[in-house]
Each structure stands twice: as C-alpha cells, then as structure tokens.
Amino acid sequence: MRRSALVTGSSRGIGRAVALELARAGWPVLINYLEHREAAEALAGLLRAEGLQAMTFRADVADRQAVNHMVRAAEETLGPVELLVNNAGVAGQSLFQDISDELWNRYLGVNLGGARNAIQAVLPHMIGEKRGCIVNVSSMWGLRGASCEVAYACTKAALIALTRSLALELAPSRIRVNCVAPGVINTDMVQVLGQDTLEDLARQTPLGRLGTPEDIAHAVAFFASDQSSFITGQVLTADGGFTV
C-alpha cells in the first residue's frame, strides 16, 4: 500500500527529528523547508543512505497554492499523504503594543494558516479512504500564555482548539487528530533567548533540563502509530512538568 508522511518545517529542530523518526518507522517522508535547503537535502540524503524513502520540497506553508503543489508532489513520488505533521512555525519576542500588522499576520499565516492549508490539501484522500492521522505541534505557551510572546501563544492556543474540534468532525471518517505541546526544547529557535535564560528555564522545569527534539519526535511517533488507534482530540504536553 502506497502512503506517505508530510512533516512541515522539517529541515531542522523538532521537524527534523520527527521526519527522521517517522522514516525509520517505515514512512516515506516529504521533508518541507522554506529557507534551509542544504539542511533539508542533507537529511534526505541521510535517510536514503539508510535505504529509506525521502524527498524534499520548498514551500511556504502560508501559501495555499504552494502547499497544494507540495501535497501533489508527495502523492506522485511517495504515495498519498496519510500522515500529516503540522510542525512549521515562526516565533519571536515582542511587546504586544509593538507587534505590527505584518508580524501579526505572518504568525497567523504560518502557525495557524499553514496548518489549515496543509490539512485541507490532504483531507480529500483521507476522507475518501476513511483513514489518516494528523498531528499538530502546538506549545505549552498555548496552554498557559507567555509574556512578550502574545502572537505566538495565540496561534499555538488556536492549534489546540483546531485539534479538538477537527477531531470530532473527522472521527466519523476514522481520521485521528491529535496535538503535541512541547515545552522549552533545545533548538536553534530558543538559542536566541541566551544561555542565562535557558539555564533559568531548565531550573524551572521539574525534570531539571530542557527538552530535546527527539523527546517531541517520540510523542509524535506515538500518535502516528497503531498504539494510539483509539486516541483522538488529545493534547500531549511534553514539557518536563513545566505546566503541572
């Protein structure tokens, strides 16, 4: 049976770890990127060297037409997308009163609109076959809020509402929709906070460390597996106990 997995924003960080884990679990994987072509191609090369199926595709997930092209490319090369991981996202710190229209719309367009675009692109096949799995990557800040990250937290909270609502809508078609809400994960995205802040966040985390991309990849892989076949509409918070 031909089928594939699409992981948005998967050239680096959490997305890279997710694509790697899914490929090693037997999924042909489309590695999506926007700016980091070399990293995406290196990951695809690594997977192919292991005898696994992978391809890369440059697309801004906020661009509906580009996403549609990407899904068609996955279908033609790897097989219909039956596993979608909405991981692509943008983040940054800013006082709320300083957020411009351009920045606000970019956060919404990528973090929330990107998930909408990708889901709508893969749903026709999933509904027709009455099978499929969607995993949205939110954030613990979407659960508890984050000072100076209002736009980011808003979009991540919206992804949680999207997950729960869409899970109910798609359940009759046997399509599962779940969400992973990472805590502070040691990726390039958080390095901009500075070492002192990262050490403080690690101290605030009950388990005493920052998360790794692999920690989140394991959670996503669980939702993608048959082990979670009776689980839908759920949010798995992987944050070392930060939000307990």
The residues annotated with a catalytic role in the active site are: 152
> Phi-psi category of 240—alpha, beta or left, where left has phi over 0 and alpha has psi -120 to 50?
left
Query: Both tokens of residue 193?
Result: 């906070």
CA 152, CA 70: separation in Å to the nearest integer?
25
What is the residue whose two structure tokens read 């943008």?
A: 90
**Separation between Cα atoms, residue 164 and residue 171, nearest integer Å:** 11
Cβ neighbors of 101 (< 8 A, separation 6 or more) are none
How far apart are alpha carbons 86 and 57 in whole angstroms?
A: 15
Instruction: Give the contacts of 175 (CB within 8 A, at least 6 positions apart).
Output: 123, 126, 127, 130, 131, 132, 133, 134
With a CB cutoff of 8 Å and minimum separation 6, the contacts of 190 are: 184, 198, 210
**Helix, strand, coil percentages in the chain from 3-state DSSP, rounded to 5:** 50, 15, 30
